[in-house]
Each structure stands twice: as structure tokens, then as C-alpha cells.
Amino acid sequence: MDNDTTTRHINSGGAAANTFDAIVIGSGISGGWAAKELCEKGLKTLVLERGRSVVHLKDYPTASMNPWEFKHRGRMTRAFMEENPLITQAAGFGEDTAHFFIRDKDHPYVQEKPFEWIRGYQVGGKSLIWGRACPRWSHFEFTAPARLGYGIEWPITYDEIAPWYSHVELFAGICGNRDGLEAMPDGEYLPPFDFNCVEKDLQQKIHAKYKNRFMIQGRWAQLTEARDIHRQQGRGRCQSRDMCMRGCPFGGYFSSVSSTLPWAARTGKLTIRPFSVVHSIIYDEKKGKATGVRIIDTITREETSYFARIIFVNASTLNSNLILLNSTSTRFPSGLGNDNGLLGKYICHHNYRGSLGGTLEGYEDIYYYGRKPAESMMANYRNLHKQDTDFVGGYMAFMGASRSQGAGEELPVQIGAAYKEAMSEAGGWGMYMYMQGETIPKLSNHVSLSREQKDPWGIPQLVTHVEYDENDERLLKDFLDQSAEMLDNAGVKNITRHDNHWAPGRDIHEMGGCRMGKDPGTSLLNKWNQLHSCSNVFVTDGACMTSTANQSPSILYMALTARAADHAVAEMKRMNL
């Protein structure tokens, strides 16, 4: 056997030393919440992370560096970009953030259709590099797939998840305004980042013309003020540096590393094991339940088993599907819980292909303070009460306005006194707008395990087969048409429209494959995120999603995780798990 994939099995200290009340696979946004909730409720919890350890404050090497302190002024070398064509396309990737992304070669996979799988392997996962948008879903998104016939019925309602939204919002710290919108419900918000003068003007002009279209101050996981619960976490107010993805030394934005994991550690119940690639979940045929997790140490190549009464799968959507598909047994020959053959099916994502830009006249005597790390949002206005377009689903938008850096960029030589003087004057105002569109779960969009190719740890590589469809194209066209008209009516000039033709995946919002549902024949998970046929395994990351809606999903993952953990502990006390 190749030395690169050889493993040696150990079980250091015997089963007792490796036994916990709960195991959480993954330490990102949902895994961190699982750890916090389970430890708070008294469970001895093991968190398994395939990447390295990252400790708040200690492991943010570029957090306070100035532009001139970077060897390549924030850019990557041509050689690096040629070696990493996928990861270098990710939003926020650069010389200042590269330490939180994995290189393309470090975890290969097979693309049957183009899919750009963006990953962050470290304690904290992608919670260190996420976009931080946190709008709530509305009741429309939970009912539309079944109501309009493009998906199965969600097993929960907005009213059921709303208290859990509040639970996680208060702890994480979400800023935003209470706008009273049906399509984007209000939450437990800190004060919002205010509009600048041009954004405020745009909002007023759009609403005057379109009574059902609402440009609002965005809802973001940023501490515009630190309340007592945040100070208890050791976090402080956002400084408007807009350097979030470097790791924030102030704890100004929410991440597992600055918030949930340290909170869990304070209970004395948390153990984090980095450098632990999960091979599979162990299923006991006699007991009829999962009993543990088999991991491979990425440094020693040793294989170790850990045991627990309940297991939370939070490895991020595609890795969670991979782990479940690779967890085979006599009872589950095609993957844990996969009685209906739908594990890995109905993978979906968000459509980010459309964007617009333009210029605005006036306001030359007004500027703004800081580098606001948040954008304005426009709530979805399509297909709410009924289908009113030639496509199903909806879209929201992110948008904003800013001033250019003066005439310096127009000078033929960008150095010297003339350039410095030109840069001291602010230029004109410009604005942008881009979409986040719903995509439809389809059986044909799926992931599977390769029969021939394995990763560096001897685990089958993931095969991705995900693509756009005609509904996506019609939704994209509508966004571009409607947005261009809207901006024109609001006085925006020189409007440009753009379809970036991104492959699925670059949105970093992959979802599905192990979806929730009422019917075990068409879903893998019940309303509590338990596998229908293996009830002590919970899946609460993006893999659990029944549909995508149009809003950013991370805050929903947090809410679903906290709710599932509460249910799991209650069931354990009743001796049902």
C-alpha cells in the first residue's frame, strides 16, 4: 500500500478514555454552536476538526498588518494562482487571508460538472472567512417549495424556528434595523450600520417608485455595540476596519473561534481534537444505532475511534455528505441512513451570477467615516404569495454606494507628488448591486464517492455533479432587467449589467444532500435533524437543507443546531437516545 495512505489503528487508553457524551464533527459555524449548546447542558463533548488549531487573538498573523508590510501588497504570485485556480477565485481570498483557505491540491475531488468547492480547514472552519450576512428566512421560504410545486415540504415552520433565531441572534450579535418586512422578518438586532447619503437617497427613490421593493440596512453578524453577553465572551465593538477575514482581534464579528468554542471550553466539558480527518461514523448492528466516529490523524496517519451516545455531523455540506456516504455497514451498505438512496442527492447552491454598477451625480461635498464591513440589502419581492413570474423561487440583493479615490487612477504614472495630490481628492460616487438567487433542488444535482480515486488519507474522493438549469437563467434575466430599470428610475447613470458565469460552488453556499422532511421516503432527516433510520445522529449544517430560499443560510444553520441540541439532550434524559 502507498505510504501516503497507510494508516495504523490505535485506541489510546481503551474505549473508556475515548468515550464522550457527544461527538461533534466540524468546528465551523454550526459545529461551534453544537459544542456550545451541548457543553452548556452538561455533556462531555468532543469536537473533531480535520484542520489545524486556531486560537482567538493568537493565530491571526495578518490582523493588524499594513498594506506595505505584505510582500506582494496583498496579491498572490502568478505561480500560486496557476497552482490554485479554484481557491484564488474565492471572495475575500488574498495574501492577507490565504492562511484560512486550503490549497487546491490539499484535498482533491472529481468534477463531473464544474464546481468550485471553497474550503477552510482549521478550528473555526469557514466561520473565519464567511460573509456574515444574517437575514432571517420568512414563512414564504418554508412553504414555497411545496406550495408552488418545486420541492418537498419543510417539516418545520417559521413560527417553530423563530425563537431559535432569537436565541442565536442575541448571543452571536447581529446588527440590523427592524423594518417590518414580510419577506425578511425582524430579529433581535443591535443598531445597524447606517446608510451613507447616497444609499439613503437611493432607498427613498426606489421606495417612492416601487411600493413592494425595500432597500434596507443589512443584517450582519457585526457588533455595532457590545452588550453584556458579548463582553462576557471577551468580544468588543466592530472597528469598521473591514479586515474581517484576516481574523478579528476585537471579536467584532461572530466566529466559532471568538465566540461559541471559547464559551463551550469554559464549562470544562469541551475537548477539541484538530488534525482529525473523519473517515466514517461507526454503526453498531446489534444496538441499532451509531456508537462512534473513526478518524485518521493527518500528521501520524494513525486511525483512532471515539465513542459517544449522540453524534452531530457539522463538517460543512459536501464533507458531511462524504462522511455519511463513506459510513457503510451491513445495515447501511450505501451510506448511513441511506435507506431511500437519496443521500448525496438534491445538492443545491445560490445563484450569484448577476450584478450591476453605475454612477451618481452630486453629493461632492459629502463623504463618510470608516470602511463599513456591511452592505445594504434588498428583500426578495418575487413569487411571495403566489408565482408571479416565469420562474420559481426568488432573489435578494446586496447593494451599496461609495466614492472613488480621486483622479489618481487616471494618471499615466501612479507614483510621485502629482499622484499623491490627485489621490487626496475624492472622486465621484458609484454604486453596485448583485444578486443572491434561489436554486431549485434537483435529483440530477448530486455528489457521490469515486470508485477509483482516493484522497491523501485513503478515503474515496468526492465526485460533484451540479449545474444550472433554465429556471436559473430566467431568474437571472429577471434580476438584471428589474434592477437596471429600478436603478435608472432612481437616477443612476452609466448602468452596466454583468453575468459572471460563475460555476456553482463559488457562492460558498452549497446545501442539501441529507435533507429534512416529513416523509422518510423522500428525505433523510426528521424535523429535529435526526436521521430517520439512525436517530442518535444529527445533521445540522447545510447538508440538512430542504431548499435554499434566497437569504444567506448561516444564521438558520445556527438556529437549527441549537434547536436540535436542545431536543437531543431532552431525549437523552428520557433515555430515548
pLDDT of the chain, 577 residues: tens digit per residue: 333 334 445 555 567 889 999 999 999 999 999 999 999 999 999 999 999 999 999 999 999 999 999 999 899 999 999 999 999 999 999 999 999 999 999 999 999 999 999 999 999 999 999 999 999 999 999 999 999 999 999 999 999 999 999 999 999 999 999 999 999 999 999 999 999 999 999 999 999 999 999 999 999 999 999 999 999 999 999 999 999 999 999 999 999 999 999 999 999 999 999 999 999 999 999 999 999 999 999 999 999 999 999 999 999 999 999 999 999 999 999 999 999 999 999 999 999 999 999 999 999 888 887 899 999 999 999 999 999 999 999 999 999 999 887 665 666 667 788 777 777 777 889 999 999 999 999 999 999 999 999 999 999 999 999 999 999 999 999 999 999 999 999 999 999 999 999 999 999 999 999 999 999 999 999 999 999 999 999 999 999 999 999 999 999 999 999 999 999 999 999 999 9
Query: Quick check: helix, strand or coil at residue 347?
Result: strand
pLDDT of residue 413: 67
Give ∠ CA 378-384-389 in degrees, rounded to 5: 95
Evaluate whether residue 374 is within a structural domain: yes
pLDDT of residue 367: 82
C-alpha cell at 278: 473523519
Query: Which CATH number does the domain housing residue 197 bear?
Result: 3.50.50.60
Question: HSE of 523 in the Cβ direction (CA atoms, 13 Å)?
Answer: 26
C-alpha cell at 195: 446608510
Evaluate whether residue 320 is within a structural domain: yes
State how far Cα 540 lies from the chain centre: 12
pLDDT of residue 327: 98
Evaluate whether residue 481 is within a structural domain: yes
Query: Quick check: helix, strand or coil at residue 411?
Result: coil
Cα pseudo-dihedral 398, 401, 402, 408, rounded to 10:
100
Evaluate whether residue 335 is within a structural domain: yes
Q: Which positions ≥6 away from 365 have C-beta within 8 Å?
A: none
- The partner residues of 277 in beta bridges, in order of sequence, read 296
Pairing of strands 395-403, 429-438: antiparallel
Which residues constitute the domain of residue 436?
19-29+39-62+90-573
Evaluate whether residue 10 is within a structural domain: no
What burial class does residue 66 get, using C-beta atoms within 10 Å of its C-beta: 0-12 exposed, 13-18 middle, 19+ buried? exposed
47 and 273 in contact (C-beta within 8 Å)? yes
Q: What is the DSSP letter of 147?
A: H
pLDDT of residue 411: 62
State how far Cα 559 lies from the chain centre: 13
CA–CA separation, 97 and 87 (whole Å): 11
- The partner residues of 103 in beta bridges, in order of sequence, read none
CA–CA separation, 188 and 171 (whole Å): 10
277 and 296 in contact (C-beta within 8 Å)? yes
- The partner residues of 22 in beta bridges, in order of sequence, read 45, 310
C-alpha cell at 550: 434566497
540 and 316 in contact (C-beta within 8 Å)? no
CA distances from 260 to 58, 303, 380, 571 (A): 17, 28, 31, 23
Q: Which helix (H) or strand (E) holds 475?
A: helix 470-489
CA distances from 362 to 366, 369, 429 (A): 9, 18, 8
Q: Which helix (H) or strand (E) holds 423?
A: helix 417-423
C-alpha cell at 261: 468554542
pLDDT of residue 410: 66
Give ∠ CA 271-272-278 in degrees, rounded to 5: 120
Question: HSE of 410 in the Cβ direction (CA atoms, 13 Å)?
Answer: 10
CA–CA separation, 277 and 93 (whole Å): 24
C-alpha cell at 326: 463513506
CA distances from 371 to 238, 243, 359 (A): 11, 9, 20
CA–CA separation, 472 and 469 (whole Å): 5
pLDDT of residue 3: 34
Query: Quick check: helix, strand or coil at residue 72?
Result: coil
CA–CA separation, 443 and 152 (whole Å): 12
Q: Domain count for the chain, please give it.
A: 1
The residue written with cell numbers 455528505 in the block is 321
434 and 398 in contact (C-beta within 8 Å)? yes
Evaluate whether residue 461 is within a structural domain: yes
CA distances from 219 to 21, 323, 377 (A): 35, 33, 8
Evaluate whether residue 388 is within a structural domain: yes
| Percent helix / strand / coil, the chain, rounded to 5 | 30, 25, 50
pLDDT of residue 5: 37
Evaluate whether residue 72 is within a structural domain: no
pTM score above 0.85: yes
C-alpha cell at 524: 433523510
